[in-house]
Amino acid sequence: MKRPVIYISDSTGITAETLGHSLLTQFSDLEYETFTLRFINTVEKATQAAEVIQRFSQENGVRPIVFSTLVEDSLQQIIIKCDCLFIDFMQTFIQPLEQELATPAHREVGHSHGMTEMKAYQERMSAVNYALQCDDGIGVQHYDKADVIMLGVSRSGKTPSCVYLAMHFGIFAANYPLVEGDIERLVLPESLKKYREKLFGLTITPERLHQIRSERRPNSEYASLHQCQYELRQVEALYRQFGIDYLNVTRMSVEEIATSIMIRADLKQHA
């Protein structure tokens, strides 16, 4: 039977989901049914949320786990009375921080994903627009503004990685697909030559690339293992020839790719 897991927040719920999910991966043999109660910022909404939690408890015959980032004590008190394991991500740490910082916490509804840091926020949004503007080899005229220019063969994960770097870190990330002509002749495309210090390569195993491309165009020459092997061998030779640092992303998630590139390319977060 699946254990009910409820994320509750006075704001977006993203923080509660992120840490709650991290904790649950430490108990990955069990199964969960997850549910998020967002924007629980009034007594009325908290009372309704408590009813939802009670219903989960009764219908499942097992206590829900409630991961909370509620800040206001009056709201938290309503939830804490439910039949659940209440895991408190905010209050637990507020008190030691108050002591260390010798400052009382605001204890107001969270704005951690709000617009409090307007400049950093606008930078992130500009970076997202940039990632789209410079996706897949377009927008080369804007490469002066790039923090990093990602290279790789088709379907090696460039686009999601650039979008993640933009959304999360405000990094201006362009991406350029290396195509047959470039990799056959082992030359750097003309438009990339003056940006060598910004280039970062992705690679992947031929087997995984074959699998990904096959989902898109089954039984095509493009997806064949032979073609994948050829392109990757050439592209890695090209990276080495031009001294371009690169990463094998076969077993990596987009979060892992993005954070690894932050380190390897020594990028500084704008946000």
From candidates 47, 74, 95, 116, binder to a second copy by CB under 8 A? 116
Give the integer Cα–Cα distance in Å for 5 and 31.
10
Residue numbers 202-261 binding a second copy by CB under 8 A: 251-256, 258-260
Compare residues 30 and 186 and give the one whose CB is closer to a second copy. 30
Compare residues 92 and 241 and give the one whose CB is closer to a second copy. 92
Using the rule CB under 8 A, give the single segment among 164-172, 195-203, 221-229, 234-242 that binds a second copy: 164-172
Q: Which residues pair with 38 in a beta bridge?
A: none
- Residue count at the site for a second copy (CB under 8 A)? 72
Please list, residue by residue across 124-140, b when 16 or more beta carbons sit within 10 angstroms of its beta carbon and e when fewer do.
bebbbebbeebbebebb
Compare residues 19 and 80 and give the one whose CB is closer to a second copy. 19
**Tokens of residue 203, six digits:** 């690679």
Number of Cβ within a 10 Å radius of residue 67: 27
Residue numbers 45-64 binding a second copy by CB under 8 A: 63
- How is 62-118 classified by DSSP, letter by letter? SPPEEEE----HHHHHHHHTSSSEEEETTHHHHHHHHHHHTS-----S--TTTTSSH
Give the integer Cα–Cα distance in Å for 264 and 37.
38
Quick note: the x/- pattern for a second copy over 20-39, rule CB under 8 A, is -xxx-xxxxxx-------xx
Compare residues 132 and 187 and give the one whose CB is closer to a second copy. 132
Q: Could you say whether residue 93 binds a second copy (CB under 8 A)?
A: yes
Compare residues 96 and 243 and give the one whose CB is closer to a second copy. 96
From candidates 110, 139, 170, 177, binder to a second copy by CB under 8 A? 110
Q: Could you say whether residue 145 binds a second copy (CB under 8 A)?
A: no
Q: Could you say whether residue 138 binds a second copy (CB under 8 A)?
A: no
CA-nearest of 196, 182, 190, 209 to 149 is 196
Q: Could you say whether residue 97 binds a second copy (CB under 8 A)?
A: yes
Q: Could you say whether residue 1 binds a second copy (CB under 8 A)?
A: no
Give the integer Cα–Cα distance in Å for 101 and 189.
53
Contact 45, 39 (CB under 8 A): yes
- Report CA 217 to chain centroid distance, whole Å: 27
Residue numbers 63-92 binding a second copy by CB under 8 A: 63, 65, 69, 71, 85, 87, 89-90, 92
